[in-house]
Structure 1
């Protein structure tokens, strides 16, 4: 193991190399090394034509993978999510890179598959979605669709169809820790997540690749407790000590280090802020009524991650469920927004891939997820819409095996403005775009697959609730104060099945609110 500068690490990466990155949102990226790679390319034109492999999204909007999202520097990307990577999105949308989008959980497991020296990973996750080769094969732009590189194949094993996710090459992997000792042993004590760093390091070694670790501290050999060693020294080739942690090694986007997010400090529940009332909180208040005591629950990004946890905490429901996030966190109150993936007062922080083991194998009792488009068949799109290439993240891994799925979304977007008065909902200004469309732009959740497998699926909005049936979407509830025809049916691009037992949503959702002024959703 050799200590080197970030600039020296960048210089070791040859043209055409395949590099793997670990991280989650704005956390866990090797920003000092990534910036050095970008700077070297801009100065010399090298390294160029890199292939990049990553599981979760790798930025909070400014850092991580965004640093190397430069045309010519990257030629191919295989990943799960680019919702907070505007420059990377632009490269994908303009076909300046070859892009493949695969489920995040499958990609975390692919690291372990490669660590075992295997050619790929089998799973039913992704069948019927855009990842399925019978649909799009995960090819996320025209440049990928024109390529002969097929990242996923359908195979038939013991009477069932599976997807075969192919291993990818790794010449270098960039992983992050908190401290490294003189022998190369790495701890992650101050990191908010464990992620897939061990499997990623082992995968690189299995392919003859090199492991580059970025850390904050160097400590004496033998001073890291054996159980706290996340990566043993024999896996590490190069170590880079971040010279400016406040910029290049932040624990979370909001702080260089906050002990609440690494489990080193537990705060009283009353110290947690209460969410102000909004249309998103309104949706959350209806959605939590789907909870059952003792349920193992997953929260997705967006309204679920921002709202469900705080609403449940306010209502004293957190103790009645086991809350999990795909990043590996169990328990606590989610931070949400650009810090999705971490919680305050977590009970456990597992490695990334192990969390998905449970999701895939057992199927959580209930997941709350967002939705950008919903169609007459119950299909949901969150990955590509309006020309934007977002990606699926862990959405497919969670929703497909879950026993129950609750989608949380506003009915329309683009200027929607609502108000609550005397326990009734008023649509002050309708959004420009309906989320209920005839045929989603991309299938991220297959209504047909869910219906065939008897999944319980609920779609919650601020004004209406739908459930999935074998015949399609069924309207079961409407908010007090809204007009069925004007505010619901006329705003949809298709006619849903209206339940003969159509009910009014529980009025307590619309009472006891903090404010009744109009609330806008852009």
Structure 2
């Protein structure tokens, strides 16, 4: 018997007060039609009310896929727990969910994405919760904000700090969803799900297990339904035994602003010369310098922002394939995409389920991470999760905390300050006018990455900007390189709120970085792996 029902029928199954887990990553894999149906039911009937919704990665993107904004209604939402939240264009009204959070109309939490997936896994196995060091000494830590994004959330903590075998840990109680809403490409009549047009499988399986094992229901939104027995067993990512109902949206987008691109789902490979390389500008200079930190044969994580251009730098330098890129949505290898398609990759080697990709990150199985910063402080801590001058709240940290907690090497990149007028001439940086907003501050507004823990753990931390390179040392942030054409005192030391340590071997950044032609990049080869230094715990 077919499990196919209409979106309205599916929405009617969600009771007041339910906990609902939604699988998505911005526009990627977003069950948008289902969320719309829930919002429409509430507008028409006032139900369901007082929902708690779980979003390991944001649902919706404000660029054609509303996602969570479909249900951002006072009375409909009581509590929202997200790894991240939709990003709204800075020139328009902020997303409705941002407004609700900022107005304290819904208790809102920002839990690291990987930890949220772990909470689902623990709920599925009927274990009490997650014991982890992910988030210690960051905004996740109860000694700081404890994941709370507003006063309503602060009044009802979701994380405790506790001692276990002589060490400090964070404890997150497992949260049991009564409903899981996931998305795939195809369902057969028995509810078996395949993902052939998706850019990632995300965490649908784990979310379905958490609901089904605890007596809840699983609703899958798909593009099409096919006959039972017509799907290949190896292609099924969520078996029909876990799926109760299927909703069809033949118009579901593959990801933000993309109806369907077979290279994103790994069905074809694009020619390498079809990928756009970055235009020559200040951001490209920074991305080039970040690329100089890499080793051939490495597995490297990428975050949104300037660092997302580094794969295109390697492509332009004839080094594509020398590094394997890994992103939190699950793609391994290939060419990570930019802008609104970030989170997808073309020509990927594989797609890991997102929860397992986070296990890889949390345990530091990868070699390096390339990430952005909004602020850096005197301890080397980084903020990417909150700035008070932005309307209401930011989009949250996503997997940033999971990724950075134990990473062996992290390269943070960004502009030295905000709003500076810059140009380049004769392979030198020209600072025509300084920015008004300093980004090297005495204390960051929100600790997304703890410099103190990084020093304790011996992590290799580098900060790359257009005018200098800095390293985190036990004594503080040390200036190691300066751009050609830059005045040390006026352009760097005077533009930082805290004193920088100047390296005894301070050198000038390579002049070729500031010239339009390729830089002749070469990457030293990563040493072969051995068991020396391996953990035996």
Superposed, which structure 2 residues align to 1:300-315 within 5 Å?
A: 300-305=303-308, 307-315=309-317
Counterpart-to-counterpart distance in 2, 1:117 and 1:159: 26
Shift of 1:44: 2.3
* Among candidates 275, 279, 296, match of residue 276 of structure 1: 279
Question: 5 Å matches for 1:244-283?
Answer: 244-245=250-251, 249-283=252-286
Answering whether residue 73 of structure 2 is matched by residue 70 of structure 1, we say: yes
With the length of structure 2 as denominator, give the TM-score of the two structures. Answer: 0.92
* Superposed counterparts of 1:359-398, under 5 Å: 359-387=361-389, 388-398=393-403
Instruction: Please say if 1:206 is aligned against 2:213.
Output: yes
Which residue of structure 2 aligns with residue 111 of structure 1? 120
Tell me, yes or no, if structure 1 residue 132 matches structure 2 residue 136. Answer: no
Structure 2, unaligned runs of 5 or more: 89-94, 519-537
Stretches of structure 1 that go unaligned for 5 or more consecutive residues are 515-522
- Equivalent positions of 1:12-31 (< 5 A) are 12-31=13-32
Asked if structure 2 preserves the Cα contact closer than 8 Å seen for 1:93 and 1:389, the reply is: no
1:510 aligns with 2:514: yes
Q: Paired residue for 1:404, among 384, 409, 426?
A: 409
1:132-211 alignment to 2 at 5 Å? 132-145=141-154, 147=155, 149-211=156-218
SS class of match (1:318): coil
The Cα shift of 1:90 comes to 1.8
SS of 2:259's partner is coil
Asked if 1:473 is matched to 2:477, the reply is yes
Shift of 1:381: 0.5
Question: CA offsets, 1:403-428, max 9 Å, x none?
Answer: 00100111112x33211111000112
Asked if structure 1 preserves the Cα contact closer than 8 Å seen for 2:26 and 2:86, the reply is no
- Offset at residue 71 of structure 1 (A): 2.2
Whether contact under 8 Å (1:81, 1:390) holds in the other structure is: yes
1:256-302 deviations in whole A, cap 9, x for unaligned? 11101000010121121122122211110111100012111000112
Q: Distance in 1 between matches of 2:11 and 2:421?
A: 49
How much does 1:134 deviate?
Answer: 2.0
Query: Match for residue 517 of structure 1?
Result: none
The residue number in structure 1 matching 2:51 is 50
Structure 1 contact 25–339 (Cα < 8 Å) conserved? no
**Structure 2: distance between partners of 1:343 and 1:215:** 21
Kept after mapping to 1: 8 A contact 2:334/2:346? yes
Q: Distance in 1 between matches of 2:467 and 2:387?
A: 23
Partner deviation per Cα, 1:441-480 (whole Å, 9 max, x = no partner)? 0111000000011111000001111100111111111110
Pick from 315, 324, 329: which aligns with 2:331? 329
TM-score scaled by length of structure 1: 0.94
Select which of 424, 427, 430 maps to 1:420. Answer: 424
Given that 1:363 and 1:401 are in contact with CA atoms closer than 8 Å, whether structure 2 keeps it comes out as no
Q: Work out the CA distance in 2 between the residues paired with 1:367 and 1:318.
A: 17
How many residues align? The count is: 506
- Matches of 2:517 and 2:27 in 1, distance apart? 33
Mapped to 2, the partners of 1:105 and 1:308 lie a distance apart of 24
2:374 and 2:200 map into 1 onto residues whose CA distance is: 28
Is the 1:60–1:339 contact (alpha carbons within 8 Å) kept by the matching residues of 2?
no
Distance in 1, Cα, partners of 2:60 & 2:87:
6
Question: Does the CA contact (< 8 Å) of 1:25 and 1:340 recur in 2?
Answer: no
Counterpart position of 2:290: 287
Match for residue 109 of structure 2 among 83, 100, 103: 100
What SS class does the counterpart of residue 144 from structure 1 fall into?
helix
Counterpart secondary structure, 2:52: strand
Given the superposition, is the C-alpha separation of residues 406 and 60 from structure 1 closer, same or farther in structure 2, using an over 3 Å criterion?
Answer: same
8 Å contact kept, 2:55–2:84: no
Alpha-carbon separation, structure 1, partners of 2:50 and 2:420: 43
Aligned partner of residue 446 in structure 2, secondary structure: coil
Match of 2:468 in 1: 464
Q: RMSD over aligned Cα, in angstroms? A: 1.5
